[in-house]
Structure 1
Amino acid sequence: MEPDRPKQEGWREKKRRETLQRITDSALRLFAADGYEATTLDAIAKAAGISRRTFFYYFDSKEEILAAWQKGLPEAFRAAILAQPKDQSPLDAVCSAHLKLMANFDAAQTIVIERILRSNEQLRASNQAKFLQMEQTTFEALCEIWPQAMRRKALRMVAMVSVGALRLAIDSWAEEQQRKPLADYVKEAFADLKAEVTDA
């Protein structure tokens, strides 16, 4: 029986991930169709094909569903930065990391989440915390690539302005109703940033 345990644990973990994803996807579809406030936990559980009791095994609230979606972003972004070639500037490395991650984004799901996160004060605060974590993650990843102590202040500035550029890109993308792919807005935001820095 012992040799089978790792396989069994792997299967359980796979089922857990699948259930988490199903709950998240079901919730986002309902949020988009019915509105965040109007969507009940019972409706999410029904759409995901689980019981209310099972729902509470994974999440305590609707807010936690959004938090779970956001939680994995900083670490995924950190890995994307560290995978960048070292023969480019820190700002270019960050921009390329954003574009790499966006290649795997579900645009429709992302815009629904962005709208929800702007819908009330509590969720706006959560969104702000996400960007602050992204800034810290960016700084730490850049320091791993360029560990010289004398560069830390400059790398901190790169982290701050690059997250600002990302936020502006997302805002423009949402305001213009996804007229272009989000990646195009990111490229434009970073190009504008570099142009201003160069002209300063």
Structure 2
Amino acid sequence: MDAIPVIATGMEQDRPKQQGWREKKRRETLQRITDSALRLFASNGYEATTLDAIAEAAGISRRTFFYYFDSKEEILAAWQKGLPEAFHAAVLAQSKDQSPLDMVCNAHLTLLANFDAEQAMAIDRILRSNEQLRASNQAKYLLMEQVTFEVLCEIWPHQPRRETLRVVAMVSAGALRLAIDRWAEGQGSKALADYVKESFAALRSLSAET
């Protein structure tokens, strides 16, 4: 018996569009909550910012807030999680005629071109304000190291280079951490991008000497 062709109904054809629309709205709401929270943290302080204030600023109900987040800590975690994802894309967008170290450095500088220094300084102070948040903040550098290694392996997949790429990932994560620490200690008196350039220049100099 010949198979009977299945003709998609208009409703079935619309499902992918509806699902795509829902996902787009979900991402937009998630971003709006995160942005609103970070602005309030920066202006009012982390402890003084309530979940109700975040929901109001984002234009949602308290119930909707809890659909996306359980706490203020989760908002900070989501913000930190987005950094490695953006960095991964920035590395892949770099010109491939650079050394791995230069590619990583320039990817960081690309992201810093749209850097909100005042907000980032306030967030950095929050992340250093208690032990739990400090631990989360330090874990970010381990994640950055892993993401750096993975994206470099995408670009240079040949096995003989793996050890070199792992070293680049480790030292570049350290250079980023040093740059951020110096920037925070200086209270933003100089642009973070300048500290990043200096840290990576020190790595190149050390490599040349050895």
TM-score (norm. length: structure 1): 0.90
Q: Structure 2: where are the runs of 5+ without partners? A: 1-10
50, 54, 62: which one aligns with 2:64: 54
> 2:206: which partner in 1?
196
Q: Structure 1: where are the runs of 5+ without partners? A: none
- Distance in 2 separating the partners of 1:19 and 1:140: 30
- Distance in 2 separating the partners of 1:140 and 1:18: 28
> 2:84: which partner in 1?
74
94, 99, 104: which one aligns with 2:104: 94
- Distance in 2 separating the partners of 1:74 and 1:29: 21
> 1:180: which partner in 2?
190
122, 142, 159: which one aligns with 2:169: 159
1:126-145 alpha-carbon deviations (Å, 9 max, x no partner): 11221101101111111222
Superposed, 1:1-200 pairs within 5 Å as 1-200=11-210
Q: Which moved more, 1:59-68 or 1:35-44?
A: 35-44
- Distance in 2 separating the partners of 1:11 and 1:194: 47
Read off the aligned partner of 2:95 and give its amino acid letter: P
Q: Please report the RMSD computed on the Cα atoms of aligned residues, expressed in angstroms.
A: 1.8
Q: Which moved more, 1:52-61 or 1:86-95?
A: 86-95
TM-score (norm. length: structure 2): 0.86
Once the two structures are TM-superposed, the CA of residue 191 in structure 1 deviates from its matched residue by 0.7
**Structure having the higher Rg:** 2
Q: Percent identity, aligned pairs only?
A: 79
- Paired residues, number: 200
- Distance in 1 separating the partners of 2:121 and 2:161: 36
